[in-house]
Amino acid sequence: MPSKEMIQKFAELAVKTGANVQKGQPVIVRSSTETIELAREIAKQAYIAGAKRVEIQWSDDYVSRYGLDYMDLETLKEVPEWVVKRAEHAIESNACFISITSPIPGLNAGVDPIKPQEAGKAMMRKLSFFQTHMMGNKAQWTIVAAPNAIWAQKIFPELDYDESVEALWEAILKASRVTHDNDPVNDWAEHNAILSKHNAILNDYQFDALHFKNSLGTDITIKLVENHVWAGGNEVTTQGIEFNPNIPTEETFTMPHKYGVNGKVVATKPLNYQGNLIEDFWLEFKDGKVINYDAEKEKETLKNLVEFDEGSSYLGEIALISHDSPISNSGILFFNTLFDENASCHMALGRAYPMNVENGIHMKPEELEKIGYNHSMAHSDFMFGSEDMQIIGKMKDGTDVVIFKDGNFVI
Ligand code: ZN
Ligand code: ZN
């Protein structure tokens, strides 16, 4: 474990910069049993920041795995009424959310993929109102990460158990901009300012489409929706409260047009989906839809993702990150999207973010769909950036603007 002081700094960052807990606001902390110490410190810091009440919702991935093994499909698909009520209550009481992620790689190996797929679908169906609430930035939410030994061993197999956990803590804190001699809350204010500058430049251009090309075989054109908004760094709730949904974050992202994606994209990092690692894969799009794909490993899992629902075979996000960025330079593959997506340009299959279009968070679903918004219950980011990535911005008047040269921003 890092020192008490470092854990406190990290927890404070999650509370102040991440969720930006307001005086008198209820806070819900979602934590794995792998990350008890951090969850406790976050709860404490939330109270210090003025939280009305802090509730911890624990999950245990091992017990969840037993559930997948021993429960029958019908039971797995049952969503108890109290789970729905709990989500309704969180919305009514204007709670904000702090999630601690600590994935256990390989835990679901050997599970019949239909089971988590169907259980997930049933849950999403019942709780889609809650997802709309969160994705529409109706309340503040944030995700931070903390290690567990199996995850640490996966990243640092050459170290022993304790050393690998220490090493992963160090990597997570560094990527999250928490160091021994800094004020993370201050550093994040500066970092957010740099990201918003980038957003502003891209917003001014209002590119009609982006063209990506590299030597691995990526050659794809992505049309952007009219009046798209580039976002990244901090966001603002519909009530006007700033928050940072992801710690860390390095990305600048916007909304592709659902039916405007054509070409082939080759992934450059594995994708962890439902506990399985999809490796060395590519996807081909026509008029927005995935029409062909392949993977060296876990093709079946990729199929589950693409066929999850109608929208999961279309894009909902395109994000730009310079190859020369802190997480990318660390050279560490975290096997976790929160980190790996910040090391590389990425796109997401599935649901788009309403805030990525002007006035989007106030639009009705049917209005959003009209402008090219992709609706889905899935949202899975995968990485395709490379050191030789070239990105050309195509203006409506036919002008081309070089955005990325040799993997990095040049505007
Ligand atoms: Zn992203
Ligand atoms: Zn995403």
Encode pLDDT of 52-80 as tens digits: 999 999 999 999 999 999 999 999 999 99
Q: How far apart are CA 213 and CA 229, in angstroms?
A: 23
**How far away, in angstroms, is 370 Cα from ligand 1 center?**
23
CA of 195 to the centre of ligand 1 (A): 13
CA–centroid distance, 23 to ligand 1, in Å, is 30
pLDDT band at 89; cut points 50, 70, 90: very high
- Kindly report, residue by residue over 129-154, the tens digit of the pLDDT: 998 899 888 999 999 999 999 999 99
Per-residue pLDDT tens digits for 187-207: 999 999 989 988 999 999 999
Q: In angstroms, what is the span from residue 253 Cα to ligand 2's centroid? A: 9
Report pLDDT for 33: 96
Measured in Å, residue 342 CA sits from the centre of ligand 1 at: 8
pLDDT at 380: 94
User: Is the model's pLDDT at 329 over the cut of 90?
Assistant: no
Q: Strand, coil or helix: what is 66?
A: helix
Q: How confident is the model at residue 101 (pLDDT cuts 50, 70, 90)?
A: very high
Whether residue 275 is predicted with pLDDT greater than 80 in this model: the reply is no
**Average pLDDT score over residue span 177-194:** 94
In angstroms, what is the span from residue 341 Cα to ligand 1's centroid?
6
- Residues forming a β-bridge with 27: 54, 96
pLDDT at 109 exceeding the cut of 90: no
Which ligand has an atom closest to residue 318 CA? 1
pLDDT at 194: 86
346 CA distance to ligand 1 centroid (A)? 7
Nearest CA to 205 out of 406, 396, 8 is that of 396
Confidence of residue 186 (pLDDT cuts 50, 70, 90): very high
Lowest mean pLDDT of 81-90, 255-264, 323-332, 388-397, name the range: 323-332
How far is ligand 1, taken at its centre, from the CA of residue 267, in Å?
15
393-403: per-residue pLDDT in tens? 999 999 999 99
**pLDDT in the model for residue 179:** 93
Transcribe 70-120 into DSSP letters: HS-HHHHT---HHHHHHHHHHHHTT-EEEEEE---TTTTTTS-THHHHHHH
- Computed over every residue of the chain, the mean pLDDT equals 94
Q: What is the pLDDT of residues 233-250, one digit of tens each?
A: 999 999 999 999 999 999
| CA of 182 relative to ligand 1 center, distance in Å | 26
Contact between residue 199 and residue 231 where contact means Cβ atoms under 8 Å apart: yes
Residue 167 contacts residue 152 (beta carbons within 8 Å): yes
- Point out which residues pair with 264 in neighbouring strands: 219, 284
Q: Which of 377, 354, 351, 382 is nearest to 367 (CA)?
A: 354
The confidence score (pLDDT) of residue 106 equals 85
Q: Distance, CA 70 to ligand 1 centroid (Å)?
A: 35
- The mean pLDDT value for 155-175 works out to 96
- State mean pLDDT over 97-114: 91
Q: What is the mean pLDDT of residues 279-284?
A: 97
Binned at pLDDT 50, 70 and 90, residue 336 comes out as: confident
Q: Is the separation of the CB atoms in 409 and 215 below 8 Å?
A: no
pLDDT at 341 over 90: no
Provide the residue ranges of all domains of the chain, joining segments of one domain with +. 4-175, 206-409
Under DSSP, is residue 222 helix (H, G, I), strand (E, B) or coil? strand
In this predicted structure, the answer to whether residue 326 has a pLDDT above a threshold of 90 is no
What is the Å distance from ligand 2's center to 232 Cα? 11
Residue 185 pLDDT exceeds 80: yes
The predicted model gives 366-394 an average pLDDT of: 95
* CATH number, domain 4-175: 3.40.1830.10
CA of 254 to the centre of ligand 2 (A): 10
Q: What is the pLDDT of residue 362?
A: 87
Token look-up 């204010």 returns: 189
Q: Which residues are close to ligand 1, an ion, with C-beta < 5 A?
A: 251, 253, 319
Q: Using the mean position of ligand 1's atoms as its centre, give its distance from the Cα of residue 143 in Å.
A: 13
